[in-house]
A and B are shown apart, each in its own frame.
Chain A
C-alpha cells in the first residue's frame, strides 16, 4: 500500500470536526497545499474587454454548449488532461502543458481555435465540430472572448442551472379555489380546481357513481380489501345525510388502513426481507420495520416525524424504541454475506442508500449524477456526493433492541439469577468453543485483502469511520459465512457441546424472554472519513449539503438555516447529519418534498398523480396537470401538521373521486382528452397483487385478521403484507401480478396483462382452494337447497353487488341447470365451487370501478 493516499493511513487523534458542515478531514497531503496555492496566485488576471450583448449571445450559442458538451469531461473540474481546464476564462488563459488555450492578443493563433480546426491537436478527438460552430467561436475570440460574469465556472449545460426554471422548487401558489359561474357540481375546494380545468377544456364531469360502487371503491382504496355483503348493505341503506362521511371516518379508524397504505411506502423504500445475492439470507428481525410503518400510518403520524424517525431515529436524545425501529429503513439495502472486496461492497451499499433517499424523499432520480452531472436536471455530480455524505459516518448495528431504557434495566436485573446459576456451564461452553472460534477468526480475516485486514486488526479507538465500516464487514463473516464458527467442530466436541447446551436449557425458566432485536444504525463516534468523488484526482472532501442549484436563492437559504439550526434533542456522540437532512426534507417551507408526498397520496387514490412521474420531479418528468390544486393541497397538508388521514378524507369527500367510471359522452370527452388528465370520470383499475390475494381470502372467509408480527409463509391465510418477501424469488402468486421486487424504489407498479396470469388464476392452486372454501362457506351461510340464493351470495362476495339479470340467469343456469337437489347435491356443490372459481377470475372481481 506504500505511496497510496488512503484514509486509514492518516494520523489519528486530531480533533473532531463540526458535525454539520464539515466533511471530516481533507485527504490532501500536507505538501500539496502550497503547490495549489502557488498555482492560484500565479494565475493571470484576464484582460476583459467591454461587455457586448452580441458577444454574450455568441457565447451562449456556440461557446458554452461546445465547452460543456464536448470538452469539460476531459478538461474540467474532475479531469484535466494535458493539465488543461476549459470551464472558465481564467483556466483557458492559464492553459495547460501546451501553453495558454486562448491568446487575446492574437485570437487567430489561439490553441483552442487550432484544435477545433484540427490544425495541430485535434479536438474533440472523435470528430471535428461543424464549421459553423468553429467559425462562431472564432468570432467570439476576436470579439474579446466575452465571458458572462454569472458563469465564472461552467456547470452543466447552463440551461437548467437555475432554480428559477425548475417548477418543483418554485414557492407554493397561493391561488384560492376558483369560482366558476354556474358550478353546481363542486362539493369541495378540490372539485372547484378540477371543475375550472374541465370548463377550460370544454369537458363535463361524469355523474356520481352509485352507492354500491362507491362503498366497494372506498374499501379497496382505504383498506385494500373488499367490504362484506353486510357492510355494503349497511351503508347503502343508511338514510343518514352523513352516511358517507361516517363511512370514511370509520374506514380511516380501521387498522386495516395501515396494512394497505403502509404497503405503498414499503414499495417506495424497496422493502424486502432477504439479502439477495447467492444465499439470499432471511432477515428475521426486519419485519419490525414493516410493523413500524403500518403503525405509523394507523396512528396518523405527522409526516415530518415519520421521515425524521426513518432517517435519524437513532439520533434522537430520547431512547424511543419506535424511532430506533424506524432506522431499519437504512438497513433495507444490499448486503452480500461472502464478499471479500469489502471496499467496493461498502461503496455499493452507500450509493444504493443515496439513490433510494433521492427517489423516496426528493422524488428525483439522483443515480444519474453518481457518474456525471445530471443531463437534464439541475443536479451536479457533487450534489450526489453531498447527499451521500449525510450517510458516510453511518455504522450498521445488529445489537440494539426495541426497548426503553427502563425496560433494558429491568431485563438486566431479571437476567442476573440466570447468569449466576449458569456461570459454570457457560464457562465450560466458552472453553470448548474457544479454539474453534480462534480458528474461524483466522480463516475469516485471512480471506480479505491485506489493507482490509489491517482495518480489522487495529484497535477500535484508532479506527476512522471507514476503517470501522470495513472491520464490521469482516466481523459479520465470522458468524454468517462458511456455516458459522462451529461447523468444523469434532464429533466428540460436538456431542459435549450439545450436552452442555441441554444442561443450560434446564435453566431457561430463570431466563426472561429476550428483548426484541432490531436492525439499526448509528453514527461513528471517532474520526470521520470524508466523502470524495470517485474519479477526482485531488480527492477533494465533499461536505454534506443540499442541491447546489439552490445556493444563493431565497428558498435555499431558508431551508439551509432551518436544517442547520441547533438541534436540541440530539443524542450525545452522533453527528446529527441525518437529522439535518430530515429537517431539510420536512421543512414546511420546502415546496419540492411537500409536492412529492402529496402527489403520492393523490396518485394512489386516483391511479395517477397530478404529476404523472411521482419519482421524477425533474425536467424529464411531467409537470403537474393541476398545479394550483397540488399547491393548495400541499399548503393544507403542511398547515394541518402533515397528517395523511385528513388528506384522504378530503379526497374521498370530493365529487371528483365519487364520479362514475361511465360517462354518458365518453367518446366525445375522450376525443378532447384521451389521457383523461382532466379527471372527467373514475378510471377503472386492476387491483394490486396484494389486493387480489387478500380479496380472495376475504371471499373465501379464511382471512385471519391478526395484525402485525413475524412474517409468514405464503400458504398462511394472512394479509399479503405479512407474507415473507425474498429478493431472489419472484415466482409467487403475488409476483405474478406485478408486486414490487424490493430491488429498487417503486413509485408506480406496472399492471401487466399476460397469458401466464390467466394460467395462474385459472389453473393455479391458490384461486382454486379459495373457490372451494368460498362455496363451502356460502352453503353454510344460506343453508342447503337454496341454490339461487347461493349464487347471489357468490356475486355479493366477489363483485359486491348483484349482476344484471342476463348474467344472473347465465350463472343460475351454470350452477343448477338440469340438476335436481337433493339427488344431485354433490354435483351442484361442485358446480358452485366452479362458479366461485369463475367469479375469482372475472374483471368485475379483479378491477375496481
Chain B
C-alpha cells in the first residue's frame, strides 16, 4: 500500500517480461528455483490433464474422531463398556492404556442428501454438503504420535526430513500469481501446530518452494511485509532506487551470472508483494453476508472462519496450495472428555467449512479447487481415562470435495468397530498420490535429484485411487 507508488515507478523503469526473465535466469535463479516454470513454459505440459488447479487442505490437528463424525459403528454402542473383543488385534497406542473398555458414541446419525451419506450431529452444516463429499473411510498412517502423524500427513513419512506435499506441488506447478506466495499456511490461533514450520518446509528441494505462514490476525500478515514504522514513502523509494542502481551495476559486471539479475528482480517482486498481499487479506472488502456465512460474527467460529474466507480469496488470486490448521497445537486431541472437546472443536470448524464449500461453489471455484479435510489420524473405539479416546493411526476418515472429485460417495471401510481400515485401504502415500493426480501430476514422474537418488513425493509408492473420479 504505502509502497505502491514506489513500485509502479520501479516497475516502470524495468519492464517486466516473465518469459524473457525466465530465459535469462535459466542458469541462476531458474536452474534451482524455478524448474516448474521452465518446464511448463519452455518445455512441456503437465503429466495429464488436471482436474484441479488449486488445493485447500483443512487440517484438523490433533486427530478428530472418525467414529463420532463420519463413520458410524452400531456395534461399538452394543459392546460399550466391554474390552476390545479378542478377535481384534490389540494395537500399540500412544498413551498405552491396557485393556480399556470400548467407549460408546452418543451421536445422532443421519443419512444426508441424495446420496444418503452418513454424518453425525456434530457437523450439521457440513452434512448439508454430503453430496459433494467423497468420504475416504479407510485411511491409515504409520506413526502413533502427533509429531510423526502430522509430519507424515504433510511429508509422507513420520520422520522429519522430506519436503511437504505443498512444496512438491509448488515445485511441480509453480503459482499463478508471482506477487503472492504460491504455498500459504494459516492457523486458527497464535499457537503453532506440532512440528512448527517444518510441516510446510521444503527439506531438500530449494526453499523457494516452502510454505509461507500467513498470520491474518496480525498487522503484518507475512513476515517483514510492512515497511518499518516511521519510515516515509519517499525515503523507502530513495533507498530502493539507490539499492537497485548498485545491484544492477554489480549484475552488469558479471553478465553470465544471471542469479545476480534475479536478485534485482527479487526486490521488484518483494515490492509488488507488499502492494498486493495487504489487499488479498483485506476482509473489509467482503460483504456482510459473506462475513456471516463464514461465522465471522461469532466468537466460536471467527478464528477458523477467517482462515477459510482468506483461503478462498487467495485461491481466487491464483495461490496454488493453501493449508489451514484447525485446532493448531493438537487441540482436536481428546484423550479425556471427548464430548466437550469435540463439541467445541466441531462448532468452531463446521460452519466455516460448510461456508467455504458454499462460497467456492457459488463462485464457480469448486470445480477447480480440491478441498481436503482430515487430521493426522483418527481415534480409538476404546476409551482412555474413561471418557476420552486415544490416537488411531490404523483406520480413520478424511474427505475430499471439488477439484474433479465425485461427491456423494464413500471409499473403503474400517472394521465393525472402526479400529482398523479393512477395505480399499488408503495409506497416506495413496492420499498424496491421489491429490497429485488430481492436479495433473504423476507421483512417479514428479522427481527431484538429491544426492544421486531420484526422489519422488511419495517415495516410489502410493497410487491414485480411480474411484475418486469414477465413483
Number of interface residues of B (CB under 8 A): 75
Question: Which of B147, B207, B253 has its CB near the most chain A CB atoms (within 10 A)?
Answer: B207
Residue in B98, B159, B263 whose beta carbon sits within 8 Å of that of A334 in the complex? B159
Min CB gap A367→B, angstroms: 7
Name the A residues within 8 Å of B98 (CB-CB).
Answer: 446, 450
Name the segment of B235-243, B365-373, B406-414, B421-429 touching the other chain: B235-243
Chain A: interface secondary structure? loop
Q: Is the CB of A759 within 8 A of B270?
A: yes
Q: Would you call B95 an interface residue if the criterion is a C-beta within 8 Å of the partner chain's C-beta atoms?
A: yes
Min CB gap A356→B, angstroms: 11
12 A–B contact pairs at CB < 8 A? A277-B145, A278-B195, A339-B145, A446-B98, A615-B452, A620-B453, A661-B254, A743-B203, A751-B32, A752-B208, A762-B243, A841-B247
Q: Is the CB of B197 within 8 A of A728?
A: yes
**B379-438: which residues lie under 8 A (CB-CB) from chain A?**
none
Name the A residues within 8 Å of B350 (CB-CB).
Answer: none
- If A276-B198, A365-B453 are given as contacts, then 15 extra A-B residue pairs at C-beta distance below 8 Å, sorted by A number, are A339-B145, A340-B95, A340-B144, A446-B98, A447-B96, A613-B451, A615-B451, A616-B452, A686-B259, A729-B197, A758-B266, A759-B273, A841-B267, A842-B243, A843-B246
Residue of B nearest to A676 (CB): B256
Q: Would you call A230 an interface residue if the criterion is a C-beta within 8 Å of the partner chain's C-beta atoms?
A: no
Name the A residues within 8 Å of B160 (CB-CB).
Answer: 276-277, 334, 727, 743
- Rounded to whole angstroms, the CA-CA distance of A834 and B273 in the bound complex is 22
Residue of A nearest to B249 (CB): A807
Q: Is the CB of A755 within 8 A of B266?
A: yes
Residue in A365, A448, A731 whose beta carbon sits within 8 Å of that of B223 in the complex? A731
**B110-148: which residues lie under 8 A (CB-CB) from chain A?**
144-148
Name the A residues within 8 Å of B204 (CB-CB).
Answer: 744
Residue of A nearest to B161 (CB): A743
CB-based closest 6 A-B pairs: A447-B96, A616-B452, A758-B270, A620-B452, A755-B269, A728-B196
Min CB gap A325→B, angstroms: 25
Q: Is the CB of B198 within 8 A of A727?
A: yes
**A343-380: which residues lie under 8 A (CB-CB) from chain B?**
348, 352, 359, 365, 367-368, 376-377
Residue of A nearest to B200 (CB): A730
Name the B residues within 8 Å of A284 (CB-CB).
Answer: none
Q: Is the CB of B251 within 8 A of A843?
A: yes
Q: Would you call B92 an interface residue if the criterion is a C-beta within 8 Å of the partner chain's C-beta atoms?
A: yes
Residue in B33, B159, B213, B330 whose beta carbon sits within 8 Å of that of A348 in the complex? B159
Q: Would you call A507 an interface residue if the criterion is a C-beta within 8 Å of the partner chain's C-beta atoms?
A: no
Residue in A367, A735, A757 whose beta carbon sits within 8 Å of that of B266 in the complex? A757
Residue of B nearest to A738 (CB): B207
Q: Would you call B257 an interface residue if the criterion is a C-beta within 8 Å of the partner chain's C-beta atoms?
A: yes
- Rounded to whole angstroms, the CA-CA distance of A838 and B240 in the bound complex is 8
On whether A336 and B148 interact (CB within 8 A), knowing A743-B203, A807-B246, the answer reads: yes
On whether A768 and B228 interact (CB within 8 A), knowing A662-B254, A666-B256, A731-B213, the answer reads: yes
Q: Is the CB of A764 within 8 A of B224?
A: yes
Q: Is the CB of A844 within 8 A of B197?
A: no
Q: Is the CB of A838 within 8 A of B243?
A: yes
Name the B residues within 8 Å of A683 (CB-CB).
Answer: 257
Q: Is the CB of A811 within 8 A of B453?
A: no
| Size category, A interface | 35 or more
Name the A residues within 8 Å of B256 (CB-CB).
Answer: 666, 670
- Rounded to whole angstroms, the CA-CA distance of A620 and B147 in the bound complex is 34
Name the A residues within 8 Å of B356 (CB-CB).
Answer: none
**B266-294: which residues lie under 8 A (CB-CB) from chain A?**
266-267, 269-270, 272-274
Q: Would you call B349 an interface residue if the criterion is a C-beta within 8 Å of the partner chain's C-beta atoms?
A: no
Q: Is the CB of B257 within 8 A of A684?
A: yes
Name the B residues within 8 Å of A448 (CB-CB).
Answer: 96
On whether A814 and B225 interact (CB within 8 A), knowing A336-B147, A727-B198, the answer reads: no
- Rounded to whole angstroms, the CA-CA distance of A670 and B257 in the bound complex is 11
Min CB gap A846→B, angstroms: 8
Min CB gap B185→A, angstroms: 11
Q: Would you call B250 an interface residue if the criterion is a C-beta within 8 Å of the partner chain's C-beta atoms?
A: yes
- Rounded to whole angstroms, the CA-CA distance of A661 and B250 in the bound complex is 12
Name the A residues within 8 Å of B303 (CB-CB).
Answer: none
Q: Would you call A576 an interface residue if the criterion is a C-beta within 8 Å of the partner chain's C-beta atoms?
A: no
- Rounded to whole angstroms, the CA-CA distance of A811 and B210 in the bound complex is 36
Residue in A334, A336, A620, A753 whose beta carbon sits within 8 Å of that of B145 in the complex? A336
Name the B residues within 8 Å of A758 (CB-CB).
Answer: 263, 266-267, 269-270
**B194-240: which residues lie under 8 A (CB-CB) from chain A?**
194-198, 201, 203-204, 206-208, 210, 212-213, 222-228, 235, 238-240
**A762-810: which residues lie under 8 A (CB-CB) from chain B?**
762-765, 768, 804, 807, 810
Name the B residues within 8 Å of A277 (CB-CB).
Answer: 145, 147-148, 160, 195
- Rounded to whole angstroms, the CA-CA distance of A367 and B198 in the bound complex is 21
Residue in A341, A674, A839 whose beta carbon sits within 8 Å of that of B144 in the complex? A341
On whether A730 and B224 interact (CB within 8 A), knowing A340-B92, A814-B242, the answer reads: no
Min CB gap B239→A, angstroms: 5
Min CB gap A522→B, angstroms: 25
Q: Would you call A618 an interface residue if the criterion is a C-beta within 8 Å of the partner chain's C-beta atoms?
A: yes
Min CB gap A761→B, angstroms: 9
Q: Would you call B314 an interface residue if the criterion is a C-beta within 8 Å of the partner chain's C-beta atoms?
A: no
Name the A residues within 8 Å of B298 (CB-CB).
Answer: none
Residue of A nearest to B238 (CB): A814
**B169-214: which residues lie under 8 A (CB-CB) from chain A?**
181, 194-198, 201, 203-204, 206-208, 210, 212-213
Q: When each residue 720-749 of chain A gets 1 if its CB lies under 8 Å from chain B and 0 otherwise, what string results?
A: 000000011111000100100101100100
Name the A residues within 8 Å of B195 (CB-CB).
Answer: 276-278, 280, 728
On whether A341 and B194 interact (CB within 8 A), knowing A662-B253, A838-B242, A843-B263, the answer reads: no
- Rounded to whole angstroms, the CA-CA distance of A807 and B330 in the bound complex is 54
Q: Would you call A432 an interface residue if the criterion is a C-beta within 8 Å of the partner chain's C-beta atoms?
A: no
Q: Is the CB of B207 within 8 A of A752?
A: yes
Min CB gap B37→A, angstroms: 14
Q: When each residue 271-297 of chain A gets 1 if its CB lies under 8 Å from chain B and 0 otherwise, what string results?
A: 000001110100000000000000000
Q: Would you call B82 an interface residue if the criterion is a C-beta within 8 Å of the partner chain's C-beta atoms?
A: no
Name the A residues within 8 Å of B253 (CB-CB).
Answer: 662
Q: Is the CB of B250 within 8 A of A368?
A: no
On whether A763 and B452 interact (CB within 8 A), knowing A341-B144, A814-B242, the answer reads: no
**B58-113: which residues lie under 8 A (CB-CB) from chain A?**
92-98
On whether A844 and B208 interact (CB within 8 A), knowing A340-B93, A730-B201, the answer reads: no
Residue in A662, A731, A841 whose beta carbon sits within 8 Å of that of B243 in the complex? A841
Residue in B148, B181, B247 whose beta carbon sits within 8 Å of that of A842 in the complex? B247
Name the B residues within 8 Å of A2 (CB-CB).
Answer: none
Residue in B92, B95, B196, B223 whose beta carbon sits within 8 Å of that of A760 in the complex? B223
On whether A365 and B146 interact (CB within 8 A), knowing A741-B201, A807-B249, A814-B242, the answer reads: no
Q: Is the CB of A849 within 8 A of B254?
A: yes
Q: Would you call B360 an interface residue if the criterion is a C-beta within 8 Å of the partner chain's C-beta atoms?
A: no
**A811-835: which residues lie under 8 A (CB-CB) from chain B?**
811, 814, 834-835
Min CB gap A617→B, angstroms: 9
Q: Is the CB of A754 within 8 A of B33?
A: yes
Residue in A340, A727, A730, A731 whose beta carbon sits within 8 Å of that of B94 in the complex? A340
- Rounded to whole angstroms, the CA-CA distance of A618 and B452 in the bound complex is 8
Residue in A338, A339, A727, A838 whose beta carbon sits within 8 Å of that of B246 in the complex? A838
Q: Would you call B262 an interface residue if the criterion is a C-beta within 8 Å of the partner chain's C-beta atoms?
A: yes
Name the A residues within 8 Å of B227 (CB-CB).
Answer: 763
Question: Which of B204, B225, B254 has its CB near the most chain A CB atoms (within 10 A)?
Answer: B254
Min CB gap A673→B, angstroms: 11
- Rounded to whole angstroms, the CA-CA distance of A754 and B194 in the bound complex is 26
Name the A residues within 8 Å of B240 (CB-CB).
Answer: 762
On whether A728 and B247 interact (CB within 8 A), knowing A613-B451, A754-B33, the answer reads: no
Question: Which of A339, A727, A759, A837 has its CB near the most chain B CB atoms (within 10 A)?
Answer: A759
Q: Is the CB of B270 within 8 A of A755?
A: yes
Min CB gap A758→B, angstroms: 4
Residue in B147, B330, B451 whose beta carbon sits within 8 Å of that of A616 in the complex? B451
Q: Is the CB of B145 within 8 A of A352?
A: no
Residue in A276, A747, A762, A839 whose beta carbon sits within 8 Å of that of B270 in the complex? A762
